[in-house]
């Protein structure tokens, strides 16, 4: 499985630790930047992660910034990207089970062990594929396609 990861300048430390963790656990990781603590315009990097999902170069994405909010906004503007801004393990599970999210966004301030647990749950949880969740996700896709 290929996991894409992106951060702004505030997410550099957490991103480096998550890359180590994911690779240690057998995942192939694609780093979409930034790779510097110098202030950057995060949308430029978020777009690259989104393209990785859209072009089937990665299976899931992780986006880190100061709050996780900016990254999630950018990614959710891209057709085919379903990014959930998560803050806890329950949200990591439910965004997959109910919403079939393919990207999670998190605050760079989340404690490392908590971030690892959330990422594990996100990656290992499957979409429930029940009629009500399919219907609701199709409604989201209709909005995406038709405004």
**Token code pair at residue 67:** 């709050």
pLDDT at 71 over 90: yes
pLDDT at site 57? 98
Q: Nearest CA to 87 among 73, 60, 69, 70? A: 69
Q: Are residues 3 and 29 in contact, defined by beta-carbon separation less than 8 angstroms?
A: yes
Give 104: exposed, middle or buried? Use CB within 10 Å, 0-12, 13-18, 19+. buried
- pLDDT band for position 3 (50/70/90)? very high
Mean per-residue pLDDT over the chain, rounded: 97
Q: Which residues are catalytic?
A: 65, 98
Q: Is the pTM of this model over 0.85?
A: yes
Which pLDDT band, with edges at 50, 70 and 90, does 68 fall under?
very high
pLDDT of 147 above 90: no
Per residue in 6-54, pLDDT tens?
Answer: 999 999 999 999 999 999 999 999 999 999 999 999 999 999 999 999 9
d(CA 32, CA 140): 27
Determine the average pLDDT of the residues in 127-140.
96
């Amino acid at each position: 499985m290929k996991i894409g990861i992106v951060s702004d300048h505030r997410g550099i430390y957490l991103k480096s630790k998550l890359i180590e963790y994911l690779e240690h656990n057998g995942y192939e990781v694609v780093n979409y930047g930034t790779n510097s603590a110098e202030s950057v315009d995060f949308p430029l990097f978020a777009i690259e992660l989104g393209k990785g999902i859209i072009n089937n170069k990665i299976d899931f994405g992780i986006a880190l910034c100061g709050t996780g909010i900016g990254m999630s906004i950018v990614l959710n503007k891209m057709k085919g990207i379903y990014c959930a801004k998560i803050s806890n393990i329950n949200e990591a599970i439910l965004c997959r089970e109910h919403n079939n999210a393919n990207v999670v966004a998190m605050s760079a301030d989340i404690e490392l062990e908590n971030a690892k647990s959330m990422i594990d749950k996100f990656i290992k949880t499957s979409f429930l594929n029940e009629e009500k969740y399919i219907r609701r996700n199709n409604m989201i896709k209709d909005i995406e396609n038709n405004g």
